[in-house]
Chain A
Amino acid sequence: MRRGAIVAVAMHDLARWRRMPITAAAAVVPPIVMMLILSTLSLAVTQQPVALVVQGSGPASARMAQIIENDTDAYYLTVTNATAANAMLLDQEVAAVITIPPAFDAGVANGTGKVLITINNVDFDFSDDLRRSIDRSVVQFDAPSLISEGPVNASTPNVYHVTLQEEYLRQTSVDWFHYQLVPILVLLTLNVGLVGTAILCALDGLSGTARMLILSPQRSWVLVSGRILGGVFVCLLVLVPAVLLSVITGFISPPPDQIPALIGIFLGTALCAAGTGAVIGTLVRSTRYVALLSSVVATYLFFLGGGFTAIEFVPKWLQLLSAFTPTRYSIDALRQALFYPNPAGIPLSLLILALYASACVGVGAFFMRRSWLRR
């Protein structure tokens, strides 16, 4: 009977969502827009638009130009003349103009060659990116062995007397867009599961149906569990197409042996999101503020989970706070399963998500009657 009631509450909530298209759209549209924007920005986030003006005519100029043109990771290059390049710079079509001056070859011959760069230094984020890139190109000119795609022979001498032995600690490298796609899926879950579930609880309070639920012969934990299950169903209804679309379009390629883990992580994330929403929806007595408060909470869960920035860059106290955030485990586990072959840590993440969701059922059930009776 209790199992039937839990499923009945969940299916009932699904029916409500079906009848609230505006609210559903308000939950789903923002993460989708974020995904679209990130996908377009990913085209631009690593490369900077730069104009290259080659005024020198000797072999050194040609070699320098070649080095710069080959660095397609750093530059979105337009090769043009000085006048056009200047106009592009002022018109903000390019962030910088790199000029190989007429006297470049002569300068190289006597050790005073200079590559000229004019930067629209609006802020130092992309300005420094450009400075590092041009420095790298210059280093490559004088010490080609320092900048190599393949394994570096550490004993090869160069004019800087320094070589690099780089060790990449992860077996796979993930590009920025795919790296950010994972938290967007979590954001989608947060918006639909957390904010959506909180709103359903708030609507119960607004319409008085909360009292009817309390007056029913079902225990609070049954009602809360049903509400959370409904939230999970709704999350899955949105997540499954989003994930399938991502797979079909090649945005993500889940390793076959990680699929069970991925399903578990998505389910756990949906449970946590819906659980948090149920707690907020039962605790907050004013329906006016539930949407705002749940949006605020979703935002914190998102960025503390590492959805917006790499956690390494945030202050230590924030890193500590992040360790207590369930979405951190969702995002880390998803990335681990999707991108890095070593699945260590995924079982712990799943356990933490399950414990958190259980705690939400307990807290929600404890406060449900107390809170809704006072409405």
Chain B
Amino acid sequence: MLVVLVLVQAVTFLLLVTLFGLTGANAPTIVVNHDQGPFSQAFVSSLANDHHSFSLTFMGNETVARELVSRGDYVAAIVIPQGFSQSIQQGRTVPITVYVDNINTDMTSDIQRAVPSAILSFGERLDVEGLNVGVSETDLYAHDTSFIDYMIASALVLNTLIIAGTLSAFSVAEEFESRTARVLAVSPVHPLVPLMGRVLATTLVSVGALAVAVFLSLVGYGIYPVYPLEMVLTLLLCVLIFGCIGAALGAVMKRTLPVAMFILGIALPLFLFSGSYEPERFDGNLIWGAAHLSPEYYAVGLMEHAVFGLKVTPEPLAVLAFALVGFGTGALALAGFYSRRGFH
């Protein structure tokens, strides 16, 4: 039951991440096309193909469309007036009405950029006179990675933290709660030895639970890792390391209830902080520097490379792996320290 609940929470975070990914693109937008002529069709085509900007829904009634936007059901409504194509044909300029749900400046800004971008594309498609400037783009990678897919790969790291961290923390904290840790403390072996045993045992269980999450992610989203072996090794390493971190938390907090709350509560903020949706250095050197305190930063770097062949951190892969191992070692040392200290 514990494993099921942890898995449910992990899958929930996958769902959350997917929903977050949806907001990055394809703003739900209504198009009311009163014209239906060739140029309005071309304009609609520009909207539809503009850098994943819009998810278009077509309606006939402008009043209804406006109402739906004001209700918050859609982000914007674009109204192409009657006579649009004829006016363009005759070289006249036509106003297009755009209703925007300016619920926050981020969404508003997206629309403010997307519509002109579509207009640029429309103008280039028509090869209108007077266009003097265009854009020439070069990309570092041959193709874009879907935002959702990118986030799913990093979310697998989040899942590993939740599954391995929670199960491990739980098993260690239970030893203290049930006071069996006292028996371990007076045994002739260092408390770290049975703690490691706990971590290894929960690692095995975590691998099983994580396999379910990985299966759902890869099969559900149709993701095929570029380096599957690297992905598997990264996940296994993460399970072990996050298990150690969970053990440390369990030894420090010594209570199952708060430790579970803490891990579940801290996992998502740390995830956002760890290059989960774009290379963390894009957020500035200060934030990027602070992100190095999070083990998820290193794990996400390894995962994105393994799944998509992307380099999302300036540090080489070997450094990321060593840093993760360092976290795990430190966590074990902390667990050992607190497991002894708890009885004095």
- Bound-state Cα–Cα, A94 to B314, Å: 12
Q: Looking at the complex, which of B92-100, B192-200, B205-213, B230-238 is the stretch in contact with chain A?
A: B92-100
Binary CB contact string for chain B from 1 to 35 against chain A (1 if under 8 A, 0 otherwise): 11001101100110110011111111110000000
Q: How far is the CB of B176 from chain A (nearest CB, A)?
A: 12
Q: How far is the CB of A209 from chain B (nearest CB, A)?
A: 15
Binary CB contact string for chain B from 252 to 290 against chain A (1 if under 8 A, 0 otherwise): 010111111110111011101100011101111101001
Size of the chain A interface, CB-CB below 8 angstroms: 118
Task: Check: B70 CB closer than 8 A to any chain A CB.
Answer: yes
The answer to whether B257 and A113 have CB atoms under 8 Å apart is no
- Choose from A73, A122, A161 the contact partner of B92 (Cβ within 8 Å): A161
The answer to whether B93 and A195 have CB atoms under 8 Å apart is no
The answer to whether B105 and A135 have CB atoms under 8 Å apart is no
The answer to whether A133 and B310 have CB atoms under 8 Å apart is no
- Bound-state Cα–Cα, A202 to B258, Å: 12
- The interface residues of chain A lying within 8 Å CB-to-CB of B262 are 25-26, 29-30
- The interface residues of chain A lying within 8 Å CB-to-CB of B115 are 164
The answer to whether B281 and A125 have CB atoms under 8 Å apart is no
- Bound-state Cα–Cα, A160 to B133, Å: 12
The answer to whether A295 and B261 have CB atoms under 8 Å apart is yes
- The interface residues of chain A lying within 8 Å CB-to-CB of B338 are none
Task: Check: A55 CB closer than 8 A to any chain B CB.
Answer: no
Q: A22-B255, A131-B137 are in contact. Are A123 and B277 (CB under 8 A)?
A: yes
- The interface residues of chain A lying within 8 Å CB-to-CB of B102 are 168-170, 173
The answer to whether A122 and B310 have CB atoms under 8 Å apart is yes
The answer to whether A299 and B96 have CB atoms under 8 Å apart is no
- Choose from B23, B93, B109, B132 the contact partner of A313 (Cβ within 8 Å): B23
The answer to whether B96 and A164 have CB atoms under 8 Å apart is yes
The answer to whether A49 and B282 have CB atoms under 8 Å apart is yes
The answer to whether B100 and A44 have CB atoms under 8 Å apart is no
Closest partner residue, chain A, to B97 (CB atom): A165
The answer to whether A141 and B132 have CB atoms under 8 Å apart is yes
- The interface residues of chain B lying within 8 Å CB-to-CB of A20 are 258
- Bound-state Cα–Cα, A127 to B91, Å: 33
The binding surface of chain A is classed by DSSP as: helix
- The interface residues of chain B lying within 8 Å CB-to-CB of A311 are 72
The answer to whether A26 and B282 have CB atoms under 8 Å apart is no
Task: Check: B134 CB closer than 8 A to any chain A CB.
Answer: yes
- The interface residues of chain A lying within 8 Å CB-to-CB of B19 are 303, 308-309, 313-314, 318
A305-364 at interface with B (beta carbon < 8 Å): 308-314, 318-319, 335
Q: How far is the CB of A239 from chain B (nearest CB, A)?
A: 17
Q: A27-B261, A161-B94, A162-B119 are in contact. Are A131 and B166 (CB under 8 A)?
A: no
Task: Check: B297 CB closer than 8 A to any chain A CB.
Answer: no
- Choose from A286, A290, A300, A309 the contact partner of B12 (Cβ within 8 Å): A300
Q: A74-B113, A299-B16 are in contact. Are A134 and B101 (CB under 8 A)?
A: no
- The interface residues of chain B lying within 8 Å CB-to-CB of A236 are none
The answer to whether B106 and A175 have CB atoms under 8 Å apart is yes
The answer to whether B98 and A165 have CB atoms under 8 Å apart is yes
The answer to whether A159 and B104 have CB atoms under 8 Å apart is no
Q: How far is the CB of A182 from chain B (nearest CB, A)?
A: 10
Q: A92-B314, A123-B144, A175-B104 are in contact. Are A139 and B93 (CB under 8 A)?
A: no
Task: Check: A118 CB closer than 8 A to any chain B CB.
Answer: yes
Which residues of chain A have a CB within 8 Å of any CB of chain B? 20, 22-23, 25-27, 29-31, 33-34, 36-38, 40-41, 43-46, 48-49, 64, 73-74, 76, 89, 91-95, 107-109, 111-129, 131-136, 138-142, 146-147, 154-170, 173-176, 178-179, 191, 195, 199, 202-203, 286-293, 295-296, 299-300, 303, 308-314, 318-319, 335
Q: Mind listing 21 A-B residue pairs with CB under 8 Å?
A: A29-B265, A30-B269, A33-B270, A46-B105, A108-B132, A115-B136, A116-B137, A120-B279, A121-B141, A121-B144, A123-B149, A123-B277, A124-B144, A127-B144, A129-B113, A131-B135, A139-B116, A159-B123, A289-B5, A292-B6, A295-B264
With A121-B141, A292-B166 given, name 4 new contacts (CB 8 A): A124-B52, A159-B130, A160-B93, A299-B9
